């Protein structure tokens, strides 16, 4: 698949989910470099790779895993002195990112499974590889668990989730998003993924997550977020906001119906923000942390200490 095809598939959601988007984007960058002729001109090679990175970055705005992954791969490529060095660094960094991303999922699954007691009923929302990993690991350990999964309008990612759960013989209950509050009394805890986590510990995830967290808070049920450290958004330290993707209105209301309703406006935000107060724990590969330790992750894991921050303002 070419880089443009990968970009198109991310944009049209054939490739989706924050972790997968990051891994596929990094693979596309690595494979794109292989298609470029060797000219000995490092600057030209780096320019072309920056252009390619820009195309990938323009696909979807919310999942911070995408810019973080591209930055991890491109950072040292930019300072390479020869084309061959730039190519080698790019290959090594891309492979390292993909490997560490998979390892992170395994560690999160192991830690998350510890928080799913035998006999419990877990609610999940959307289709998160990190969240599902914990549920599958709990099942693998022989725990008797059940899952409540939402439909996830308008893209119905819940169908992907229930397919995986069914394939793994996990008893699952499927329901429309608006039934979340009614279902709260039947579940024990909530586990979801994340597209971005801000410095104040707020979690950006599939729209509807914040309503689930609000209902869980009311019902005194724990909300666990599972997220690899590259889902933390260091630039929120500088006051940058996470852009919430708004997709086309015809994903919600067909054009032919909308055409008959000239006074009706359709909004289609695909993510929302859950404040830290509604989250009990964020499970990362670095450990299970309370959300207010988000800055520690940014400093220790992503290298955004106070020195780096000051450099941003110079």
Residues noted as catalytic: 126, 195
* Min separation Cβ 131 and ligand RUB, Å: 6
Closest to ligand RUB by CB, 19 or 67: 19
Residues 18-37 vs ligand RUB: string with x where CB under 6 A? xxx-----------------
Q: What are phi and psi of 220, to 5 degrees?
A: 60, 40
| Residues 198 and 294 sit within 8 Å (Cβ to Cβ) | yes
Residue facing ligand RUB at closest CB distance: 193
- 3-state SS of the chain: helix, strand, coil percent to 5? 55, 15, 35
Q: Under the criterion CB under 6 A, does residue 281 sit at the interface with ligand RUB? A: no
Part in contact with ligand RUB (CB under 6 A); list of ranges 10-18, 74-82, 136-144, 182-190: 10-18
CA distance 74 to 81: 14
* Min separation Cβ 13 and ligand RUB, Å: 6
* Min separation Cβ 21 and ligand RUB, Å: 7
Map the footprint of ligand RUB across residues 103-132, applying CB under 6 A: 126, 128-130
Q: Under the criterion CB under 6 A, does residue 270 sit at the interface with ligand RUB? A: yes
CA distance 78 to 49: 9
Map the footprint of ligand RUB across residues 156-195, applying CB under 6 A: 157, 193-195
Closest to ligand RUB by CB, 46 or 149: 149
Part in contact with ligand RUB (CB under 6 A); list of ranges 12-20, 23-31, 212-220, 253-261: 12-20
Residue 222, burial from CB neighbour count under 10 angstroms (0-12, 13-18, 19+): middle
Angle at 219 between CA 292 and CA 232, to 5 degrees: 25
Out of 6, 17, 89, 203, name the contact with ligand RUB by CB under 6 A. Answer: 17
CA distance 184 to 305: 40
Residue 233, CB-side half-sphere exposure with 13 Å CA sphere = 26
Please give the size of the binding site for ligand RUB, defined by CB under 6 A: 17
Q: What are phi and psi of 223, to 5 degrees?
A: -115, 115
Closest to ligand RUB by CB, 193 or 234: 193
Please tell me whether residue 304 adopts helix, strand or coil conformation.
coil
Map the footprint of ligand RUB across residues 42-81, applying CB under 6 A: 63
Closest to ligand RUB by CB, 89 or 286: 286
Q: What is the largest CA-CA distance in the chain?
A: 65
The residue assigned the tokens 């630039």 is 235
The residue assigned the tokens 């439909």 is 151
CA distance 302 to 199: 12
Closest to ligand RUB by CB, 3 or 69: 69
Part in contact with ligand RUB (CB under 6 A); list of ranges 11-19, 166-174, 260-268, 303-311: 11-19
Residue 25, burial from CB neighbour count under 10 angstroms (0-12, 13-18, 19+): buried
Out of 59, 101, 198, 205, name the contact with ligand RUB by CB under 6 A. Answer: 205
* Min separation Cβ 305 and ligand RUB, Å: 26
The helix (H) or strand (E) run that includes residue 281 is: strand 281-284
Q: Under the criterion CB under 6 A, does residue 208 sit at the interface with ligand RUB? A: no
The site for ligand RUB (CB under 6 A) is made up of 16-20, 63, 126, 128-130, 157, 193-195, 205-206, 270
């Amino acid at each position: 698949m070419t880089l443009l095809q990968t970009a198109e598939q991310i944009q049209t959601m054939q490739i989706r989910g924050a972790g997968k988007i990051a891994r596929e984007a990094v693979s596309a960058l690595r494979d794109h470099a292989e298609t470029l002729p060797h000219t000995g001109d490092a600057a030209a090679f780096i320019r072309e790779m920056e252009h390619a990175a820009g195309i990938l970055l323009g696909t979807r705005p919310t999942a911070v895993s995408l810019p973080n992954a591209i930055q991890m791969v491109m950072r040292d490529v930019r300072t390479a002195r020869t084309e061959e060095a730039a190519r080698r660094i790019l290959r090594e960094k891309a492979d390292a990112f993909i490997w560490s991303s998979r390892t992170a999922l395994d560690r999160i699954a192991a830690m998350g499974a510890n928080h799913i007691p035998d006999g419990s009923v877990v609610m999940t929302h959307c289709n998160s590889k990190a969240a599902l990993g914990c549920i599958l690991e709990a099942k693998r350990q022989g725990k008797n668990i059940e899952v409540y999964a939402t439909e996830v309008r308008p893209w119905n990612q819940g169908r992907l989730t229930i397919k995986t759960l069914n394939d793994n013989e996990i008893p699952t209950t499927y329901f429309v998003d608006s039934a979340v509050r009614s279902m709260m009394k039947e579940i024990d805890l909530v586990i979801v993924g994340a597209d971005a986590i801000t410095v104040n510990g707020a979690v950006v995830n599939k729209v509807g997550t914040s309503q689930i967290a609000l209902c869980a808070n009311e019902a005194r049920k724990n909300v666990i977020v599972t997220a690899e450290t590259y889902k933390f958004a260091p630039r929120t330290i500088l006051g940058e906001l996470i852009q919430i993707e708004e997709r086309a209105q015809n994903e919600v209301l067909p054009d032919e119906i909308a055409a008959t309703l000239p006074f009706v406006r359709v909004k289609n935000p695909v993510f929302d923000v859950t404040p830290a107060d509604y989250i009990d724990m964020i499970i990362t590969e670095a450990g299970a942390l309370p959300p207010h330790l988000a800055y520690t992750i940014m400093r220790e894991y992503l290298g955004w200490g106070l020195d780096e921050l000051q450099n941003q303002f110079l």
